[in-house]
Structure 1
Amino acid sequence: MVVGGTPVVWIDRPFTDEGRGFWAKLEGCNPGGIKDRPALHMIRRARERGELADGARIVESTSGTLGLGLALAGIAYGHPVTLVSDPGMEPLMHRLLQAYGTRVQTVEHPCADGGWQEARRRMVRSILAADPAAYCPDQYHNPDNVAAYAPLAHELLEQLGEIDVLVCSVGTGGHSAGISAVLREHLPGLRLIGVDTVGSTIFGQRVAPRLMRGLGSSIYPRNVDYGAFDEVHWVAPGEAVWACRAMAAATYASGGWSVGAVGLVAGWVARTAAAGTRVVAVFPDGPQRYFDTVYNDQFCSANKLLGAAPATEPDELDHPAERDVTRWTRCTTVLDPLRSAALAPSGSAEPQAADG
């Protein structure tokens, strides 16, 4: 199988001086990116349990990367695939998914509660209701999504041995939970840093329109392991664009929104941690699908994403619901927002529960 065994590369520039960088796991070297791993695993396990019959349709909500993985799984196991997305999907991604034989359906309006994400999931439910034999992997809540990343963790152990800090983007919560759980069996002192986007509800911020795709959420995925995180950072789109382009020019290793956000945070950890700290960042994809967004000057100018480099230090929050953040911000208090609303400071922005 062509999925797995992805390389790690050393990155210092543009974030640090030589010798103070981090290791990046290049999951973009999989055919479709990091989500090839859970897509194949979730479909294989569903078939083994009898939840997905031979030839039955796979249906799922996606912003793109999982869709590529499910297209691969559909071809490998002989299933038609229907994917539900929204107008924010990149034109290249839409065309690629169709080329791989998937049917792509697009929702037209976001939900008042849960945004585009919930609108997509509602369309998924309507498709499943019309086709009782169809199967939805439900990446947000399926524990197989988490279990799929055990091989990636073992690859990191074989490639690097000692790891002190793991930096992961958080969307469904699958790869941060799955990788860190296995690593901590061998490295109990591992610190896990989550990277989210401004406007995401995952870690207790209020929902807001989100430009970045592949990280963040308007719902609360059950796969997020809140207790595993030592801290969380929120990153704004312009900051991620700067990091993507700066890494591409300095090292040739880059990717999309998640890669830029993770690279920015991992670079900060590398230059501020004690000398000798071994930092690892997971880069979920490569740059190719983002030629119309992250690497498109016209798109970035229209969305006011081009300008000066981000601040050298993140802003700080004492509590994740203390205030709405609009730039790179760090918080070392990590709480499950659905279980901790009562703990929010008086007058703070409490999370809005979404239909997850």
Structure 2
Amino acid sequence: MTAPQPALLGLVGHTPVVPIPAGTGSYLAKLEAASIAGMKARAAVSMLSAARARGDLAPGSTVIESTSGTLGLGLALAGKAFGCPVVLVVDDELEPDMRALFTAFGVGLEVVRDPHPEGGWQRARLDRLAELLEATPGAYWPDQYDNPDNAAGYADMARELIEQVERADVLVAGVGSGGHCAGLTRSLRTRWPDLRVVGVDSVGSRIFGQPARPRLMRGLGSSILPRNVAYGDFDEVHWIGPAEAVASCRRLAAETGIAGGWSTGATALVAGWVARREPGLRVLTVFPDGPHRYLRSIYDDHWCRRHDLFRATVTEPVELPEPDAAEARGWARCAVIRDPLGKEVRAWI
């Protein structure tokens, strides 16, 4: 058992909000890369703190979780803070730089070599996680996809935003596990009850009713249905493809000196579109992390050419009348939100 280092928790959060140019106007972005381990450190600390308070996570017990990478950084930090070893179930597509970083942090890695035929890498990782839990007495699984403490971890972010931003009319939020959007919306609507929420998903994700397909982008979208997603919170959804996200990331970096990953590029694209389309509204988004994980992918010309990501990208989304009216192959938008069973939840035109 390693000694807890609770002082590390003071390094999480307290991130700035900056204006990002969009045409003749701008939108506001909260830069989570300014916090150690990025945005998902908030969720990791929240889930482990709550588990400790309930007695679900005993002192020194092992934390085991599935991740495509970013949450793992948060869990590595939280594990050090609480004195708990961390084992991450990752997949063969995890970047070499992330593997090296996890190794440096003393995190145990279980690498899944083959995707599940229907549930992709996520399902394959979760299947392996179940085996590890059975073989590790006393281990704790945060279950980021179905844990209300995930969303609760963003209450502090919401409080920071309310102090930093005079008014917000639209929140543009990337959706993966569903935690940060649910947590932010719940808190921000207590201050701004008419806040419109625009979800940003990945092409090939099934969260909002599209078919699951292999996805190049990591940390955005899902091949399973996370129970943390609060469908009633959303007023519209956009699906973004990897070519659009790469172009958006590189444009953001060139114009502002601010760079990030797939979720940053996707939300920047949609936030900028909303700000230009409705210049009277105050648009707010969150950039979850910085560029370092993506230097060999998004910001690598050879990698992008190999994946045909420099093709011409659209400047407006394809409009879908229903979430499943057609398969989104690139940037698409729908103003009708349905839960996974097909029930209409909310619509905005």
Q: Which of the five TM-score ranges fits, normalised by the shorter chain? A: over 0.9
Q: Which amino acid aligns with 1:332?
A: A
How many residues align structurally? 335
Match for 1:39 among 25, 29, 44? 44
Counterpart residue number, 2:247: 242
Alignment of 1:208-247 (within 5 A): 208-247=213-252
Match for 1:298 among 302, 319, 327? 302
Counterpart residue number, 1:254: 259
Alignment of 1:42-191 (within 5 A): 42-191=47-196
1:5 partner SS: coil
Q: Deviations over 1:62-95 (max 9, x none)?
A: 0111000000011111111100111121111111
What are the ranges of 5 or more consecutive residues in structure 1 without an aligned counterpart? Answer: 342-356
1:21 partner SS: strand
Q: Deviations over 1:36-64 (max 9, x none)?
A: 00101100110110001111100000011
Match for 1:320 among 313, 320, 323? 323
Q: Which amino acid aligns with 1:184?
A: R
Q: CA deviation at 1:146?
A: 0.6
Q: Which amino acid aligns with 2:326?
A: R
2:182 partner SS: helix
Q: Deviations over 1:205-251 (max 9, x none)?
A: 00111000011000000000000000000000010000001100100
TM-score (norm 1): 0.92
> Does 1:2 pair with 2:6?
no
Q: Deviations over 1:90-113 (max 9, x none)?
A: 111111111111011111111122
Q: Distance in 1 between matches of 2:110 and 2:323?
A: 35
Match for 2:30 among 12, 16, 25? 25
2:46 partner SS: helix
> Does 1:11 pair with 2:20?
yes
Alignment of 1:182-201 (within 5 A): 182-201=187-206
Q: Distance in 1 between matches of 2:35 and 2:166?
A: 22
> Does 1:283 pair with 2:290?
no
Q: Distance in 1 between matches of 2:264 and 2:92?
A: 22
Counterpart residue number, 1:331: 334
Q: CA deviation at 1:339?
A: 4.7
Q: Distance in 1 between matches of 2:185 and 2:151?
A: 10
1:140 partner SS: helix
Q: Deviations over 1:147-177 (max 9, x none)?
A: 1101101111100121000001000000011
RMSD: 1.0
Counterpart residue number, 1:350: none
2:173 partner SS: strand
Deviation above 4 Å: which 4+ runs of structure 1?
Answer: none
Q: Which amino acid aligns with 1:37?
A: R
2:337 partner SS: coil
